[in-house]
Amino acid sequence: MYVKFKRVLRNIKSHLEFGTPFSVVRIGDGDLKLLWELKNGRINKQKFSRSGIPHKKIGELIQIYRDGCNSATYTSSFEHYFTPRMWNRKFSSGTADKVRQWKKVYRQLGIENTKFCSPEIGFLFFINEVKFNLFNQMKGKKVCIITNYKHLKRKFDNSGCDVDVFTIPGIGKGHYSVYHENVSKLKGMIDDYDMFLVSAGALGKGYSFHIKSAGGIVIDVGQITRYWISGAIADRYKGILTKADNYTVKFTKKAEKFAKFL
């Protein structure tokens, strides 16, 4: 079942009002390539290190993805990339082949959740034209952002949002060595925050699982944190999304025809 991002936003609003557990776990094409490698036993150790987990912990990484996706209120699928309802996305031939096999990869790794949203939902949550976008829902709320951008907090000084940053190591900086300690800390912080935003790569799926399991509201927002720090929008959105203000983006004219399908 595919659910449009505006419906997911309305669902977030409802869960914030009632304080009930909720999570969105996003699987991007980078995640899918990693999952495909895990499924086929063709691990590139150098690329694998970007997951933040040592090579010998492959089994644990699979379990982290499985738990995060299966426990999520919504996870993402790739069906839109191959329909006229979504803008053309350029993939390398190898990546395109893996993306087309997403159902098979999910099935073989035990990802059974069928409540799907767009894999681009991290940015779609912050579309300026949407009344209940996620930034608007953050206003007046106590929000914890899990990211390696330790200076992100100051970006929200005049935002109307009460934001704290839970800092994690960046790529190649030994994230796994503090992962279990971080999980323990975050589970003890559930009552301190209305919402957690996760921008933590593969291990972020694990944080999402544990936060929701402990009763929290957690949303995997991906690269929007980089946008907040630098103003940079990922290349895949060129011609589709453009900057709106410090916290939101907007559709370009070219992309407006897709909005109702997303």
**What domains are defined for the chain?**
5-11+17-117 (no CATH), 122-244 (3.40.50)
pLDDT tens, N- to C-terminus, the chain (262 residues)? 888 899 999 999 999 999 999 999 999 888 888 888 877 777 777 666 666 777 778 889 899 999 999 999 999 998 877 777 676 777 777 787 888 888 999 999 999 999 999 888 999 999 999 989 999 999 999 999 999 999 999 999 999 999 999 999 987 788 989 999 999 999 999 999 999 999 999 999 999 999 999 999 999 998 899 999 998 888 888 788 889 988 999 988 887 777 776 7
Q: What are phi and psi of 199, to 5 degrees?
A: -135, 75
Model pTM score: 0.93
* DSSP of 77-120: -SGGGGSTTS------HHHHHHHHTHHHHHHHHT-----EE-TT
Query: What is the gyration radius of the CA atoms in the chain, in angstroms?
Result: 17
Q: What are phi and psi of 90, to 5 degrees?
A: -85, 120
Give the strand pairing for 241-243 and 249-251: antiparallel
